[in-house]
Amino acid sequence: MTPIKAGLFAASAAAISLASFAQAEEVVVYSARNEQLIKPLFDAYTKQTGVQIKFVTDKEGPLMERLKAEAANTPADMLITVDAGNLWQAANQGLLQPVVSTTLNANIPAHLRDPKNQWFGLSVRARTIFFNSQKLKATDLSSYEDLADPKWKGKLCLRTSKKVYNQSLTAMLIDEHGEAKTEQIIKGWVANLATDVFADDTKMLEAIAAGQCEVGIANTYYYGRLMEKKPTLPISIFWANQNAKGVHVNVSGAGITKYAKNRAGAQKLLEWLSSDKAQNLFTDLDMEYPANPAVKADPKLLAWGPFKQNLINVNKAGELQTAAVKLMDRAGYK
């Protein structure tokens, strides 16, 4: 080989190597979580590793439709979304791939990840009971099931059944009690409503504070956000079902897309998101509990007291979602 040809060959090889390196140093994420909740995490990862994170944010439905439409041409390496029901849908539609990782298996408890390792919970939210502390005492409360008792008639507020959070809670009740008993519970809730269902948890919590109702069910981080803005509101948290299987928990989580171009880079990012540093950021940014049990929650959350989680695998929220939606409709839960 002549010196000129050798030089051209070396330059070409170097260019290919640099191009491969550049590609390997970028991970593309589709996220149903808001930018303000994920960008600080990605910035921290880039600062630590040098890997650039490109991300697109949208609702979970459009993102999954986009992944299906793009198929093998998708630029996305990872999907992040809220609620195990949505994560299950993504896996069930063939949008994710299994991940073999001793790090993730060590950091994320079995009940907070897909049994087939296609997605992993990264932060935890409890959907529990909240009450007007001027009208009720904690000793008046016990469980989700008890809220169906006629003693709560005209005192209960709920968010709409159209939101996946309530669908997942109902799915978990089906897994525990079966459809017949769960339908009785949901019908009891509907009979006890003080007013029409609410579009979101925050409005429902404000209704409890205003005395429009006395008790309701919401995600913990909505309570945390509201009380930071209005700390004098007469709303208290009650950990449901502590004398039974425990409070219903759900996750935000992530999986590697089926056609990820940078699978190795996506797995490294996913593993990092389960690490101490990232888990602390999760709990600081959105008042969620870390999925990694080795990491302590933010002191503001710890002030709400300890609670026992229901250890049913959150994957059931997806598996039983269709049954839950049909049951809620039959029960008249709008």
DSSP 16-62: HHHHHHHHHTEEEEEESS-HHHHHHHHHHHHHHH--EEEEEE--HHH
Inter-CA distances, 130 with 188, 199, 303, 313, Å: 18, 17, 15, 24
- Distance CA(175)–CA(161), nearest Å, equals 18
Q: Is 259 labeled as ligand-binding?
A: no
Residue 21 pLDDT > 90, yes or no? no
pLDDT for 96 equals 98
Yes or no: say if 3 and 53 are a contact pair by the CB < 8 Å rule.
no
pLDDT for 13 equals 41
Residue 273 pLDDT > 60, yes or no? yes
User: What does the pLDDT average to over 68-76?
Assistant: 98
pLDDT for 10 equals 43
Nearest to 313 by CA among 107, 119, 182: 119
End-to-end CA distance of the chain: 77
pLDDT over 70, % of the chain: 93
Proportion of the chain in helix, strand, coil states, percent, rounded to 5: 50, 20, 30
- Distance CA(119)–CA(101), nearest Å, equals 11
Q: Where are the beta strands (DSSP E) in the chain?
A: 26-31, 52-57, 78-82, 120-132, 156-157, 215-219, 235-238, 248-256, 289-290
Indicate the average pLDDT of the chain: 93
Coil, strand or helix: which one is 288? Answer: coil
Please report, to the nearest 10 degrees, the dihedral formed by the alpha carbons of residues 254, 256, 259, 261 taken in order. Answer: 120
pLDDT band with cut points at 50, 70 and 90 for residue 7 = very low
Taking domain 125-248+310-330, whether its CATH number is 3.40.190.10 is answered by yes
The pTM is what?
Answer: 0.89
Give the architecture-level CATH label for domain 26-123+252-302.
3-Layer(aba) Sandwich (3.40)
Residue 94 pLDDT > 50, yes or no? yes
Coil, strand or helix: which one is 9? Answer: helix
pLDDT for 61 equals 96
pLDDT for 3 equals 47
Burial of 272 (0-12, 13-18, 19+ CB in 10 A): middle
pLDDT band with cut points at 50, 70 and 90 for residue 125 = very high
Q: Is 222 labeled as ligand-binding?
A: yes
- DSSP label at 73? G
pLDDT for 288 equals 94
User: What does the pLDDT average to over 254-277?
Assistant: 98
Yes or no: say if 128 and 308 are a contact pair by the CB < 8 Å rule.
no
pLDDT for 40 equals 96
Query: Can 26-123+252-302 and 125-248+310-330 be said to share one CATH topology?
Result: yes
pLDDT for 14 equals 41
Domain boundaries, the chain: 26-123+252-302, 125-248+310-330
